[in-house]
Structure 1
């Protein structure tokens, strides 16, 4: 399965914040949207990502104040991105190896979505359910779609 398929199902809505906004604004937006990360954007340009983990490690544990710390000070700017044509397996391996839970999806230099590890797990489970159904159908005498 391709990342494009996941985006077609979940949508391409991207929640973002600007580098000069405060960490407090970012955390509030994440809480309001019930999400774990925001892309950091300057206009159409992807500058980084801020996650709950960034907040924990770079604000709380460092004794900083979220209302006076700018997002640019704690965001992760060394980003990995994927394309809509990448596979779920490729993205899952990347996220597992690098220990992160969100990946921006970029096509022709433009952000077209974000996927989470949860999106990938859901896709794998759906694929397995289809395969199990097909195998059961085949075993019980139905035709196997191949």
Structure 2
């Protein structure tokens, strides 16, 4: 199974200059645990996750702070033709729960560890 089979339409994102509240509102609205942070050319430059939010609250950082100052910059990505197993291994090796999916340098989706577990379980259950 390939990653392209798991991604949903659209990428939930905020610009790097948007405040933290933009990311939190979109995470709440879409019931997701992360938001891709993009630059003015709509290329991914970072990710903002629930873990980042916990750190920010614990450190007392203002929620008006631009995402570029608090996002995770180490962006681990998958491509659409990558296998689910390969993506899962990246997530395990890097201790991450969300993986942006890119194609030709542009974000086309996001997969979570939950998405991968569901796919792998479905695949396992479909074999005799």
TM-score by length of 2: 0.93
Q: How many residues end up aligned between the 2 structures?
A: 127
Is the contact between residue 12 and residue 114 of structure 1 (CA under 8 Å) also seen in structure 2?
no
Q: Deviations over 1:17-75 (max 9, x none)?
A: 01111112211221111111000112321111101111111x11111111x21111110
Q: Deviations over 1:56-108 (max 9, x none)?
A: 11x11111111x21111110111111111111111111111211111111111
Is the contact between residue 102 and residue 115 of structure 1 (CA under 8 Å) also seen in structure 2?
yes
Equivalent residue in structure 1 for 2:97, among 95, 101, 106: 101
Q: Which is worse superposed, 117-126 or 36-45?
A: 36-45
Relative to its length, the structure with more helix (as a share) is 1
Equivalent residue in structure 2 for 1:46, among 33, 44, 47: 44
Larger Rg: 1
Counterpart in the other structure of 1:144 = none
Which stretches in structure 2 are left out of the alignment for 5+ residues?
none
**Aligned 1:76-95 pairs, distance under 5 A:** 76-95=72-91
TM-score by length of 1: 0.82
1:113 aligns with 2:109: yes
Task: Tell me which stretches of 4 or more aligned residues in structure 1 moved more than 4 Å.
Answer: none
Counterpart in the other structure of 1:26 = 23
Secondary structure of 1:50's counterpart equals strand
Is the contact between residue 103 and residue 116 of structure 1 (CA under 8 Å) also seen in structure 2?
yes
Which structure carries more relative contact order (alpha carbon 8 Å, separation 6+)?
Answer: 2
Counterpart in the other structure of 2:58 = 61
Q: Deviations over 1:98-137 (max 9, x none)?
A: 1111111111112111111111011001101110xxx2xx
Q: CA RMSD in A?
A: 1.1
